Amino acid sequence: MELYLDLHSQPCRSVFMFAKLLKIPFEFKLVDLSAGQQYSEDFGKTSMVRKVPVMKDGNFILTESVAILQYMAQKHPGPDHWYPADLQRRARVLEYLSWQHTNLRAHGSKVFLLKYFYPLMMDAEVPPEKMDAAMEDLKKSVDLLENFFLQNRPFIAGDKISVADLVAIVEIMQPVGSGIDVFEGRPKLSAWRDAVKKEVGEKLFAEAHDVLLDVSSSMAKVDKAYLALLKPQFQKVFT
């Protein structure tokens, strides 16, 4: 199996950790998003979608992180709690996976992009009202994660960790990479984070997130020509 990844990306981190946890042998194929490698001719031969993650299993190529996670869970079944056979527990997992794309993932990404890319793209500091609005959206998503998806359960699908928790933790860590402590004043959410880290293992959790938490170093290496190509698209989104 080949996995095309950049660990700055939340979906890539969840796929990376899950493959490691299931002990699936794979070759890590770095697609450096900061250099625009997803638009290279070589990567285009692998996936015309030009997004990561991408999984190549023999001649079978699959895009979209949720589909990849489900494929891995069913081809390489590990402990049942990751992707439960029980209909209702699996439905809880799928409920979160269906919600997260346009909510916690999107809102965490927006804060991250405003913090690191807005000044580069717009040649100006982020207007306070833009950051305030993004932070409010993020807060609403974090509130829902804590009060709806977790409630009083240790994990999203119940008393054991599932793939939904892997997806949630990488998404909530994205704004942490921007220097925003989303866990402050949230003891229940902090306890969930600590439980997820314990189940994943400190070493693997750090391996997946170190590049994010040292993002300032990564930003210094961003390809300026690539940024110039992205600037018109970025301006449409943030003006």
Report pLDDT for 119: 82
Question: CATH code at 15?
Answer: 3.40.30.10
Instruction: Count up the domains in the chain and report the number.
Output: 2
Based on the fold, state whether residues 165 and 217 are members of the same structural domain. Answer: yes
Give the pLDDT of residue 232. Answer: 76
pLDDT > 90: what percent of the chain?
A: 76
Last residue of a domain, one of 80, 97, 121: 80
Residues 71, 176 within the same domain: no
pLDDT in tens, 194-226: 999 999 999 999 999 998 888 766 665 676 676
Q: Specify the pLDDT at position 120.
A: 75
* Cα–Cα dist 10/28, whole Å: 16
Are 61 and 95 members of one domain?
A: no
Is 148 in the same domain as 114? yes
Amino acid at 99: W
One domain, residues 70 and 174: no
Residue 207's domain comprises 83-238
The answer to whether residues 62 and 112 belong to one domain is: no
Q: Is 67 in the same domain as 128?
A: no
Residues 98 and 181 occupy one common structural domain: yes
Same domain for 67 and 127, yes or no, is: no
Average pLDDT of span 15-40: 94
pLDDT score for 102:
95
